[in-house]
Chain A
Amino acid sequence: MENMKARAVLVLLALALAGCGAGRAVREAKRAERAALSIQNTGSDTLVNLALAWAEAYMRLHPDVRISVTGGGSGTGIASLLNGTIQIANASREMSKEEIEAARAKGFEPRKLVVALDAIAVVANPSNPVDALTLQQISDIYTGNLARWSGVGGEDRPIVLLSRESNSGTYVYFLEQVLRLGDRKSTALFSSETLLMPSSEGISVEVRQNPNALGYDGLGYVTSDQKLLAVARSAGSPAVLPSAATVSDETYPVSRPLFMYTAGEPTGAVRAYLDWIVGEGQALVKGLGFVPLVKDR
C-alpha cells in the first residue's frame, strides 16, 4: 500500500517535470506537426454524409492525413471555426454578417468555398397532368391559399400537401426560400393542413400512390416513380426541371450551394484537401444525391 502511494507520487512528479522546461519545446513541435496532418471538420447535418465520404476517400489516398468529421448543424460548425477548435466548417447556408464580424474581431477573414450543390425537387404523382409550377404558386399552395389542383391548371382535385417534419433542414430552407419567397420579413407558415411525414420514405410512398399529393425533398431522395415538377422563378420566366445541369447553371430556382469555411486562406494539408474536394472529390458527390460543381465555373 505504502509502496503504491509512493510510486504514484513519483509518477505525478515525473509528469509535472515533463510538463515544464525542456519537455515543452519538444511537445510544441510535435503538436504543430500533428496539426498539419490532422483536420477537424464540423458543421451542417445536410453535408455530414458527403463530408464523411470525402474524408474516407481522401484518407485512403493519403494515409498520413487524419480527418475527423462531425455534424451538429451549420451554426455549430461556424461557432467552432470562430473558436479555433476546427479547421473546416461545413455549412448549408452562408455566414451571417454577425458571424463574419466576429471572425474579423478574432483577426481572420473567413474564406468560403462552394463544395457541392443541393437541389430541392418538387414532386407529384405520375398521373398528375400538371408539369410546372411557379414559386409563387408553390408558396400559395403550401400556405393554404390555393387548395385545389384546378387552381394551377390541373384536375379538379384537392391538393394534399406533404412536408418533412420541422426538424429537417430541407424544411427550413423550403419555408424560407419558397413559402416566404426569400423575404426575411415574411411570417408565412406552412398550412395546418400540411402532412408532416417522419421520413423521406413516407413522402415517396404517398406521392407514388396518391394522385392528389404534392411534396418536396432533396433531389437525391426522389425515386423514378415520382413525377418531378418544373419550377419557374415567376409567371413569365421559363419552368425548369431539376437536374445536375440546371442546378449548376443556376436556372433551377430551388437549389442551394453547400459550403466549407476556413479561417483565412487555407494552407498546407487543409489546402490540399479542399483542392482535392473541388477537383477529384466531385466524383463522389452524385452518388450521395447532391449535384457536383461544374469544372469551368
Chain B
Amino acid sequence: MRTRAVARERRFRASEFTIEALVRVLGFSTIAFVLLIFLFLLREGVPAFFEVPVANLFSTRWYPTFGLFGTLPLILGSVIVTVAAILIALPLGVATAVFVREVAPGWAREILKPLIEVLAGIPSVVLGFFGMTVVAPIVRQSLGAPTGLTAFTGALLLAYMSLPTIISVAEDALDSVPRSYRDAGLAMGATRWQTIWRVTVPAAGSGIVTAVMLGMGRAIGETMAVMMVTGNAARMPLDLAALLRPVRTMTATIAAEMGEVARGSVHYHALFGIGIVLFLLTFLINLTVARAILRRRRRGGLR
C-alpha cells in the first residue's frame, strides 16, 4: 500500500519534472529567438553605420538609389503616424471598454464583445484598400488636403486596427477591479459617473496603460495598410500641417525596397539599419511602460 503510494508519488514527480523542464525550455527559447533575430538584424544592419557617413544617415533626404540615406524623415514619419493613431484610439478605446464593462446591459455586452473581436480579424490589406478608395477621398475633400494619402489617413486606419487590442485589454483591466471598490464609491454617495471616472478607471490605470502600449506596438509595426494610404513621400513632417501631407514610414520603406535591393549593398544594409531603429524604438516603448507598471505596483496600487 505504502510502496504503491510512493511509486505514484515518484511518477508524479517525474512527470512534473519533465513538464516543468519543457515549459522552461519553451519559455527560454522565445527569448533566444528574439536574441537571435536581434543578432541577425545587427549583423545585416550595423555595416550601414560604417559605410554611410553619420551626417548622411541623419540628413533629411532619403533617396537610396542616389546614395542619400537620410533616415530622419522615415523615423519622424513612423512617429507622427503612430502618435496620431494612439491619440485617436485612446479615448475611443477606453470609452468603449468602460461602456462595455460598466454601463452596457448584459445582453448588449454579449453582442458587443464578439463584434469587437471580429474587428481584429480584418486583414490589413483589406483595410488598406478600403482606406485608399474610401477614406482617402473623404480626408481630401473634408480637410482640404492636396491628396487623401496622408499621415492622418494612415493614423485613422491604425487607430481602427489598434482599437480591438486596446478595448479588450482595457476591459480586462476594468474587470479585475474588485466589486468592493465600486460598492464603496456608490455607498459614499458618488454617482455612477463619478464612481466610474474617479474610482474604477484610475484603479485599472496600469492595465489601461498596458492596453495603449500594446495598441501602439501594433500601430508602429503595421506595414501594408500604412504603405497603401500614407503616400510614401519621404518628406520631413515638421509641423502640425504635416499630418495632412504624405509621409513615408520605416516599415513601408523596408517593405517597398527590400524586394529589389542587391544583397550586401549599402542600400541593403541601410534597410536593416532602419530595422534596428524600429526594433530599438519598440523596445524603448515597452521598457518605459514596464517601468511605469512596476512603479505603480510598488506603490501598492492594483494590477
Contact = CB atoms under 8 A, between A and B. Distances in A.
A55 B236 CA distance: 48
A270 B20 CA distance: 69
A192 B149 contact: no
Contact of A198 (B140, B232, B246): B232
A202 B132 CA distance: 8
A213 B149 CA distance: 11
B63 A189 contact: yes
A35 interface: no
Interface size bracket, B side: 20 to 34
Interface stretch (A5-13, A56-64, A203-211, A272-280): A203-211
Interface in B13-69: 61-66
Contacts of B147: 160, 195, 206, 210, 212-213
A269 interface: no
Nearest to A148: B146
A147 to B, nearest CB: 9
A157 B234 CA distance: 22
A167 B232 contact: no
Interface size bracket, A side: 20 to 34
Contacts, number: 70
A189 B261 CA distance: 19
Contacts of B66: 187, 189
B65 A166 contact: yes
Interface in B65-87: 65-66, 73
B146 A160 contact: yes
Contacts of B245: 193
B265 interface: no
A88 to B, nearest CB: 24
Contacts of A210: 137, 140, 147-148
Contacts of A205: 132-133
Given A160-B146, A166-B257, A193-B245, 4 more contacts: A192-B235, A206-B136, A210-B137, A210-B140
Interface of A: 157-160, 165-167, 187, 189-190, 192-198, 202, 205-206, 209-210, 212-213
